[in-house]
């Protein structure tokens, strides 16, 4: 279904730019100025079918043309099915992470790149809903890949912003510190492995510290693009974006300097909270 600029579904019966407005009772009325005289009453079924009657009252009023009543049925998808992902606000200003990450990078990264993933994920969901409605699943393989890529981008960036803070840096404490010691020898070794993973990604991707819900342990992964090479049931705790858009404007090709600077921003409070939730709520997955 096509959503118009005013956020309402576009009428499939009347000329372009005619919209329906949903009422509390589930009915919609034609609200376009040019068609106000149309006595329209429609209903959207639970399966997304739009049906109803319309009487052309304007024709009846202005001339000899008799009132015309006709029934119609067309496919429609309610808006709630299509706009499920939104760009999150940041907890800090675009300039707050300087000098480690420049305001220019932050603004582009959040408002353009992350937004594109949000839009892409919504578009993929909208097209999947359209395929269900029409029964045409020919584009399904592409839509599945689109959804995995864009939803991965949305999730990864959403966590990435929260993993950083102007007051970040240092080392974790408490249960997370103990778990890092158990799984990676000590914090210095963990930091070296995470950095090496980030530096050796071939192409675009992420370095990820995750809770492995299968083995009940911490693991570090190279995540390719936004969705590749990460086994299922890995709950991301700490992510470092190693796509060029994350650093190139400021650090050019010197990735090592970007990673070194980024460690000064890590919000260990956020990572610890994620660890405690993942650790507590994931047992018994197999």
In the complex, minimum distance from the CB of residue 206 to Fe ion, in angstroms, rounded to a whole number: 8
Cα 67 to Cα 221: distance, rounded to the nearest angstrom? 68
Closer to Fe ion by Cβ: residue 213 or 239: 239
Closer to Fe ion by Cβ: residue 212 or 270: 270
Q: Contact between 255 and Fe ion (CB under 5 A)?
A: no
**Which residue from 195, 241, 251, 255 is in contact with Fe ion, where contact means CB under 5 A?**
241
Q: Is 245 helix (H, G, I), strand (E, B) or coil?
A: helix
Site for Fe ion in 130-189 (CB under 5 A): none
Phi then psi for residue 123, to 5 deg, are -60, -45
Binding segment (CB under 5 A) for Fe ion, from list 92-100, 144-152, 228-236, 244-252:
244-252
In the complex, minimum distance from the CB of residue 150 to Fe ion, in angstroms, rounded to a whole number: 12
Please answer whether residues 57 and 38 qualify as being in contact, where contact means their C-beta atoms are separated by less than 8 angstroms.
Answer: yes
**Which residue from 20, 42, 184, 243 is in contact with Fe ion, where contact means CB under 5 A?**
243
CA atoms within 13 A on the CB side of 135: 3
Binding segment (CB under 5 A) for Fe ion, from list 58-66, 127-135, 241-249, 252-260:
241-249
Closer to Fe ion by Cβ: residue 42 or 247: 247
Residue among 241, 177, 236 at smallest CA distance from 207: 241
Please answer whether residues 76 and 9 qualify as being in contact, where contact means their C-beta atoms are separated by less than 8 angstroms.
Answer: yes
Judging by DSSP bridges, how do beta strands 27-30 and 38-44 pair with one another?
antiparallel
Closer to Fe ion by Cβ: residue 109 or 274: 109
Site for Fe ion in 26-45 (CB under 5 A): none
Cα 224 to Cα 203: distance, rounded to the nearest angstrom? 8
Judging by DSSP bridges, how do beta strands 49-56 and 69-75 pair with one another?
antiparallel
Cα 231 to Cα 12: distance, rounded to the nearest angstrom? 44
Report CA torsion sign: 130, 132, 134, 139: positive
In the complex, minimum distance from the CB of residue 201 to Fe ion, in angstroms, rounded to a whole number: 13
In the complex, minimum distance from the CB of residue 24 to Fe ion, in angstroms, rounded to a whole number: 41
Closer to Fe ion by Cβ: residue 187 or 263: 263
Closer to Fe ion by Cβ: residue 212 or 241: 241
Question: In the numeric block, which tokens belong to residue 254?
Answer: 């010197």
Interface positions with Fe ion (CB under 5 A): 241, 243, 246
């Amino acid at each position: 279904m096509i959503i118009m600029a005013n956020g309402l579904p576009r009428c499939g019966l009347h000329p372009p730019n005619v919209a329906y407005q949903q009422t509390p009772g589930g009915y919609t009325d034609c609200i376009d100025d040019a068609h106000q005289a149309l006595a329209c009453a429609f209903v959207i079924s639970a399966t997304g079918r739009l049906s109803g009657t319309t009487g052309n009252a304007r024709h009846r009023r202005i001339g000899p043309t008799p009132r015309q009543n006709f029934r119609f049925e067309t496919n429609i998808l309610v808006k709630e099915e299509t706009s499920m992902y939104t760009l999150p606000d940041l907890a800090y200003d675009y300039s707050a992470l300087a000098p480690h990450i420049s305001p220019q990078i932050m603004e582009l990264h959040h408002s353009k790149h992350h937004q594109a993933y949000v839009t892409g994920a919504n578009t993929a969901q909208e097209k999947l809903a359209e395929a269900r409605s029409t029964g045409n699943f020919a584009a399904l393989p592409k839509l599945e890949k689109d959804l995995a890529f864009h939803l991965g981008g949305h999730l990864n960036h959403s966590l990435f912003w929260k993993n950083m803070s102007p007051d970040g840096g240092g080392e974790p404490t408490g249960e997370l510190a103990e778990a890092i010691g158990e799984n990676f020898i000590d914090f210095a070794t963990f930091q070296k492995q995470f950095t090496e993973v980030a530096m050796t990604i071939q192409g675009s991707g992420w370095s990820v510290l995750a809770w492995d819900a299968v083995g009940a342990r911490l693991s570090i992964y190279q995540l390719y693009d936004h969705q590749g090479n990460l086994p299922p049931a890995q709950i991301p705790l700490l992510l470092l974006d190693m796509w060029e858009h994350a650093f190139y404007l400021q650090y050019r090709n010197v990735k090592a300097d970007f990673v070194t600077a980024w460690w000064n921003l890590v919000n260990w409070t956020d990572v610890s909270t994620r660890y405690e939730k993942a650790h507590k709520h994931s047992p018994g997955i197999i």
